[in-house]
């Protein structure tokens, strides 16, 4: 057969296939010869029929389904930062019976069931990345061939090949597969691709990383899970030492270690310590002023380490990362609290990597009025306002400014949820607003912060702004909403923008 772009292919005989299939190549000419048995063939018979051993197709972010590729060609994209969202794999025209089966680990879903012979693995239209895959052959074809597959990981590049249904990619690292290559290799007849090296990585769980320390004049803190505060806030107590722990019993997690160094008053920077070793003051009279934390080995390849210090006079500084100094030095300010987070390089940072260290004394400080104000200083908001609700004292506090710099604007008595219908607790944001609602009564000037939980006025006679049905304040009596004097509810309605953080405790 003379095929488009291939030219003359080798000779086939006695019912064997000749030409090509699935490549879209037209047949342009044919020669046929009758040869006595035992006589030599008219030419080579090695490559009479061209067909892919395996064919595959990827659905790529913002592109959709790409054209089919085959036999170790690249499917997907590289250098564009686009995730693969779905795959289909087929055996176009094999001489053997059997199937190609494949499985995808999908963002927010996990391992899906096994798919086969062109079925869709992954998702389409859901914007979910595939993070890991498995591919295997079953049936007769598995006796003669092995399947090998390699993936291109975001910010990592091409991994070496995996085979026989074993996983390649990552889990719990928010990392996307951007491209892949698949091939079939004849067993005991052809050279297999390189399968050495790391091909599959499992991320660390939240509980794998924790830390503890020692507070000057108080004692040991006990273990603190990542992201939570080591030390104290508002008690003028100084951290003296720090110890970090990383459970690396899972051998599929990235290897490496965490190292950290502390800056101690009157002593300066201490040498770096590895995880499990205490770093801090050499005497009981000095304490921490700053800290540096970094990662080594493959751990640094897959993760960033973020940390921020709560400092005397400043409150929470910004997030430092990967060996930057966090805190202060040369000004004698104590470090009172510390938060640390181990974050995949493909996950969102806990905050801005800025304003995490200073050698300048604070020129002005916030006058803390009470415990609610003190609590407010630790929070950030997407607007210049912050609202706190104390469901025990039945008080609402309104603050303006920014994290660590909130000034009290308003403080009101309120009524929160009764024991049987408590007000939801946690951190929320201001959402919808409206002038009134109610049946058989009217509540005025409502501001939503979570589901059906609202700030609104006390209960009035339906349609009235003067006749109060239930005006009780300072108690736990509502159905879950936060009731206020009508003037205060209107102030929130008029002044507090959507997106403002609301903290209920």
Q: Which residues are catalytic?
A: 456, 481
| CA 284 to mean position of chain CA atoms | 40
With the C-alpha atoms ordered 252, 254, 255, 261, is the resulting torsion angle positive or negative? Answer: negative
Buried b (16+ CB within 10 A) or exposed e, 35-54: eeeeeeeeeeeeebbbbbbb
Phi and psi (nearest 5°) for 302? -105, -20
**Nearest alpha-carbon partner for 461 in 442, 478, 434:** 442
Sequence-distant contacts of 390-393: CB under 8 A, at least 24 apart: 390/505, 391/416, 391/417, 391/422, 391/423, 391/425, 391/476, 391/504, 391/505
Long-range interactions of 69-72: CB distance < 8 A, separation 24+? 70/22, 71/183, 71/184, 72/181, 72/182, 72/183
Ranges of beta strands (E only) in 369-452 are 385-390, 395-400, 407-413, 416-417, 426-429, 433-437, 443-450
Q: Long-range contacts made by residues 63-67, C-beta under 8 angstroms, separation at least 24? A: none
What would the DSSP string read from start to end of 65-98?
EPPPEETT--EE-SSS---EEEEEEE--S-SS--
**From CA 409, how far away is CA 24, in angstroms rounded?**
73
Between CA 494 and CA 491 the distance in angstroms is 5
- Cβ(272)–Cβ(325) under 8 Å? no
* Alpha-carbon gap, residue 44 to 213, rounded angstroms: 77
**Which DSSP string do the residues of 313-374 spell out, in sequence order?**
TTEE---EETT--EEE-SS-PPEEEEEEEEEETTSPPSS-S-S-EE-S--S------SHHHH
Q: Which residues of 339-363 are buried (b: 16+ CB within 10 A; e: fewer)?
A: bbbbbbbbbeebbebeebbbeeeee
Q: Beta strand pairing status for 130-138 and 168-171?
A: antiparallel
């Amino acid at each position: 057969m003379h095929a488009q772009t291939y030219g003359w292919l080798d000779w086939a005989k006695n019912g064997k296939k000749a030409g090509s299939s699935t490549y879209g190549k037209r047949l342009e000419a044919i020669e046929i010869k009758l040869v006595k048995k035992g006589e030599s063939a008219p030419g080579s018979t090695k490559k009479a029929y061209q067909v892919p051993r395996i064919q595959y197709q990827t659905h790529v972010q913002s592109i959709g389904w790409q054209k089919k590729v085959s036999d170790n060609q690249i499917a997907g994209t590289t250098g564009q930062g686009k995730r693969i969202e779905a795959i289909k794999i087929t055996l176009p025209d094999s001489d053997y019976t059997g199937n190609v089966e494949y499985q995808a680990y999908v963002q927010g879903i996990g391992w899906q069931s096994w798919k086969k012979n062109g079925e869709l693995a992954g998702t389409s239209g859901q914007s979910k990345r595939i993070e890991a895959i498995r591919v295997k052959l079953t049936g007769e074809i598995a006796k003669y061939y092995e399947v090998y597959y390699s993936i291109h990981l975001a910010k990592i590049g091409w991994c070496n090949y995996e085979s026989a249904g074993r996983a390649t990619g990552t889990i719990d690292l928010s990392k996307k597969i951007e491209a892949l290559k698949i091939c079939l290799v004849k067993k005991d007849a052809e050279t297999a691709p390189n399968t050495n090296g790391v091909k599959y990585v499992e991320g660390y769980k939240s509980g794998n990383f924790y830390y503890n320390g020692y507070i000057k004049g108080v004692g040991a803190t006990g273990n603190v899970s990542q992201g939570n505060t080591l030390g104290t806030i508002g008690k003028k107590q100084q951290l003296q030492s720090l110890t970090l722990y990383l459970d690396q019993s899972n051998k599929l997690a990235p290897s490496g270690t965490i190292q950290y160094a502390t800056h101690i008053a009157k002593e300066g920077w201490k040498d770096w310590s590895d995880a499990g070793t205490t770093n801090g003051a050499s005497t009981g009279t000095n304490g921490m002023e700053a800290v540096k934390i970094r990662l080594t080995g493959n751990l640094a390849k897959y993760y960033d380490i973020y940390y921020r210090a709560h400092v005397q006079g400043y409150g929470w500084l910004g997030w430092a990362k990967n060996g930057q100094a966090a805190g202060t030095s040369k000004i004698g300010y104590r470090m009172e609290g510390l938060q640390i987070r181990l974050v995949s390089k493909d996950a969102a940072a806990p905050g801005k990597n800025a304003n995490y260290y200073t050698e300048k004394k604070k020129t002005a400080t916030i006058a803390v009025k009470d415990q609610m104000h003190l609590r407010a200083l630790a929070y950030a908001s997407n607007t210049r306002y912050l609202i706190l609700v104390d469901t025990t004292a039945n008080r609402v506090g309104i603050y303006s400014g920014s994290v660590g710099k909130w000034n009290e604007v308003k403080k009101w008595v309120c009524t929160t949820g009764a024991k049987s219908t408590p007000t939801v607790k946690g951190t929320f944001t201001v959402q919808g607003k409206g002038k009134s609602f109610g049946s058989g009564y009217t509540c005025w000037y409502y501001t939503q912060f979570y589901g059906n939980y609202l700030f609104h006025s006390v209960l009035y006679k339906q349609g009235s702004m003067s006749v109060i049905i239930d005006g009780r304040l300072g108690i736990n009596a509502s159905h879950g909403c936060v009731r206020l004097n009508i003037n205060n509810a209107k102030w929130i309605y008029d002044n507090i923008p959507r997106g403002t953080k609301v903290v209920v405790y």
